[in-house]
Amino acid sequence: MFVVCQLTAFHLVVAVAHLPSHRVTCHHAADIGKPCHLRRLIPRGRITNTYAYGYVSRLLSRRRGTTAEPRVADNTVGTAHGGGTMSAQDVDSDADADAETDGGGQMPKPHTVRLELVDEPGQLLAALQPIAENGGNLLSIFHERGNLTPRGHIPVEVDLECPPDRFEGIVEALREAGVNVIRAGAEHFGEEVTLILVGDLVDSDLSDTLHRVEASADATVKDLSLSAPDGTQESSSARLRLAARAGKADEALTVVRDIAAEKDLHVIEPLTEDAA
Amino acid sequence: MTLRLAVLGAGAVGGSVLDLAGEYGHEVVAFADSSSSVTDHAGLDPAVVHDRKEREGVVGDDAPEALFDADYDVLVEATPTTLGDAEPGFSHVERALADDKHVVLANKGPVAERYAELRALEAESEGRVQFEATVGGAIPVLSTISDLGAEHVTAARGVLNGTANFILSRMAAEGLDYEHVLAEAQDLGVAEADPTFDVDGIDAALKFVILANVLSDGDAEYRLDDADVEGIRNVPGTALDLAAEDGRTVRLIGEATADGVRVAPRLVPQGAALAVTGTQNIVQLETEHAGQLNVSGRGAGGPETATAVLSDVSRLE
Ligand SMILES: NC(=O)c1ccc[n+]([C@@H]2O[C@H](COP(=O)([O-])OP(=O)(O)OC[C@H]3O[C@@H](n4cnc5c(N)ncnc54)[C@H](OP(=O)(O)O)[C@@H]3O)[C@@H](O)[C@H]2O)c1
């Protein structure tokens, strides 16, 4: 079950539905850049709190310059916590301010924080607010309801992105807000690679491509964005953000290259960050 | 010292060399196109030569080979770049060196496809070979490397094809597809009627092969065949959209590194030095002791390229 926002490129979604990854953003090419069409799909287990989902969507759509409110389809899954404890407007203005300051200074880096939440409504939102307020962009939330810590709390893993010099501030703000932070640190996958795959992604089974990348490259697909043209001859593209263990990014790229060659896809590889 | 030039090739580059030589203190004494040549040891009058070429399609009454009989110091080779045996450019260079004349190349063929042979011929001659214009038009790439010392430059990367860069940056900025922007570039004269060389990455690859030859300093020889080349025809608008959404863009990036020569569309951050726009070119040199050095500017055009040719001529004084 997924949260799907009126996807017209439905076949593309089906192709990636089994992705064991964190967040999937799906665009329909004809709609890119237009408000109100940020399409999103969240695989099961990632976010089970619909309020949190709305919140994250807002942050993400802000970040991507989309002004539209993400529309959540009726088949929204997950156990919704009662009570919207926070108004979306508050969230937006915070996110806005942060988005603007993101540009300057250091490049954002991925970080993971592991939190323990009391199983009460509104807890997750309360935990996310200090992150947004202190310049963090939420990437994904893994909220394992039903899996309790020895102390009877719910473990939540939050992947976020922020300039390195802001990370301490975020952790501090979380603690000040009374959130129990059990582990905080740079992304356990030390290196990130962003690349674009071009070609007939659906016919070449994107889902299989991603599975194989994850299986053979010792890498995780952190983020996937699809852009599928509508009624034109143009090829589809998928932007992948891979997290690889430190020093293994090149290996991950080689794996992608090989799989792409086999499936007649093109890879637009990144130029190493320090070179650009 | 005034050097006497024999200019082979009467196109955009050769024609501009004829026009600008005087400003650089040199004179053109012989000039040839594919079917004719003209020699005047008192110095050719550019206006007269251009006028005849325009009206009659020839530059003079003599055969092209007669150019080599002129009393000249430097052969400027500005005939079309050819692949493989790099002919007839290579034979032109060979002939001038055999006569102990200097050679300045705008033609990329001989330095990209037959570098070692060319250097061997140069070693036997009193003449020297210069080829700044073959890499990045007006941008002083090779002279910068020569100043730094090729052994201190560990890699070169960058954007060295204005046509491909124009197309990619227009596609990204306007959200237009490849065919549309290509047609626009052809209307503007930025792309040729047959854009293959540019959009398939061959032109950029030749330049990075030349860079690799210069950087390897005799240790290894590179040819176009050794380069891993991918052009921009497979970059759809959807890819540029996804790149932009993530603060990146796509550029046709060439690399000459210890691993060899590679040209391919690559993701680069939007604000990065290598993300030049329009027909702008840039080369980034990785140095052993001085970090990165970027040189950018106009990589093509008749007067631009002639400027590089004439700087080379002045180095031979
Ligand atoms: N244009 C640039 O921005 C640029 C930049 C860097 C390097 N280059 C290189 O510089 C060279 C010249 O470029 P261009 O733009 O000036 O080319 P172009 O405008 O096409 O002119 C080529 C000229 O070469 C002549 N030619 C052809 N075959 C010949 C032969 N066998 N003997 C004598 N002349 C011959 C042609 O004669 P006809 O007039 O009779 O046809 C024409 O005048 C090329 O190798 C190119 O790759 C150009």
- How high is the mean pLDDT of chain B? 96
CATH code where residue B125 lies: 3.40.50.720
Instruction: Confirm if A49 and B258 have CB atoms less than 8 A apart.
Output: no
- Specify whether A40 is located in the same domain as A23: yes
Q: Give domain status of residue A97, yes or no.
A: no
| pTM > 0.80 | no
pLDDT tens digits for A193-239?
899 999 988 778 888 888 888 777 777 787 788 887 765 567 889 99
Q: Quick check: B167 and B178 in contact, CB under 8 A?
A: yes
Give the pLDDT of residue A123: 77
Number of domains in chain B: 2
**Same domain flag for B89 and B105:** yes
Tell me the β-bridge partners of B252. Answer: B265
Q: Spell out which residues of chain B touch residue A266, defining contact as CB-CB under 8 Å.
A: 230, 234
**N- to C-terminal Cα distance for chain B?**
6
Checking if the pLDDT of A37 tops 90, the result is: no
Strand partners for A238: A197, A226
In this structure, the residue with its CA closest to atom 22 of ligand 1 is: B11
User: Minimal CA–CA distance to A84: which of A45, A134, A126?
Assistant: A126
Mutation choice for A interface testing from B228, B245, B262 by most A CBs within 10 A: B245
The strand pair at A266-270 and A191-199 is best described as antiparallel
Does residue B172 carry a pLDDT above 50? yes
Confidence (pLDDT) at A16:
31
B78 lines ligand 1 (CB under 6 A): yes
**CATH number, domain with residue A233:** 3.30.70.260
Residue B308: CA atoms inside 13 Å, Cβ hemisphere, count? 29
Within this chain, do residues B279 and B150 fall inside the same structural domain, yes or no? yes
**Same domain? B93 vs B168:** no
Task: Tell whether B185 and B132 lie within a shared domain.
Answer: no
Inform me whether the pLDDT recorded for B123 exceeds 60: yes
| Parent domain of B19 | 4-137+303-315
Q: Are B61 and B194 within one domain?
A: no
Number of domains in chain A: 3
Q: What is the pLDDT of residues A106-124, one digit of tens each?
A: 677 778 888 888 777 777 7
**% of chain B surpassing 90 pLDDT:** 96
Q: Residue B125: pLDDT band by 50, 70, 90 thresholds?
A: very high
**Per the domain annotation, does A89 fall within a domain?**
no
Least Cα distance to A57 among A9, A24, A102, A101 occurs for A24
Cα atoms in the 13 Å half-sphere on the side-chain side of B182: 17
Q: What is the B14 CA–ligand 1 centroid distance (Å)? A: 7
Q: Whose CA is nearest to atom 19 of ligand 1?
A: B11
Residue B143 has pLDDT above 80, yes or no: yes
* Res. B50: pLDDT tops 80: yes
A87 located within any domain: no
Which residues, 6 or more positions from B99, have their beta carbon under 8 angstroms from its beta carbon?
B68, B127
Higher pLDDT, A91 or B124: B124
CATH number for the domain harbouring residue B150: 3.30.360.10
Same domain, B161 and B49: no
Domain match, A206 and A172 both? no
Whether residues B211 and B267 fall in one domain: yes
Q: Which one has a higher pLDDT value, A51 or A175?
A: A175
Q: Among B33, B194, B210, name the best residue to mutate to test ligand 1's pocket (greatest count of ligand atoms within 8 A of Cβ).
A: B33
Decide if A234 and B237 are in contact by the 8 Å CB cutoff: yes
For tokens 């799906």, name the residue: A26
How close, in Å, is residue B261 to chain A by CA atoms? 14
Contact status, residue B18 vs residue B28, Cβ threshold 8 Å: yes
A195 with A160, same domain: the answer is: no
Q: How far is the CA of B11 from the centre of ligand 1 (A)?
A: 5
Cβ within 8 Å, pair B274-A194: no
**A275 located within any domain:** no
B75 and B113 belong to one structural domain: yes
CA B233 to CA B196: how far, in whole Å? 10
In this structure, are A147 and A209 located in the same domain? Answer: no
B146 & B76 share domain:
no
For B9-52, the DSSP string reads: --SHHHHHHHHHGGGGT-EEEEEE-SS-EEE-TT---HHHHHHH
Q: What domain range includes position A238? A: 191-268
DSSP letter for A189, please. S
Interface predicted TM-score (ipTM) of this complex, two decimals: 0.90
Q: Is residue A257 part of a domain?
A: yes
Verify that A260 and A209 share a domain, yes or no. Answer: yes
Domain check: are B128 and B187 in the same one? no
Answer yes or no: do A75 and A6 share one domain.
yes
What does the pLDDT read at residue A17? 31
Option in A33, A194, A266 nearest B267 (CB): A194
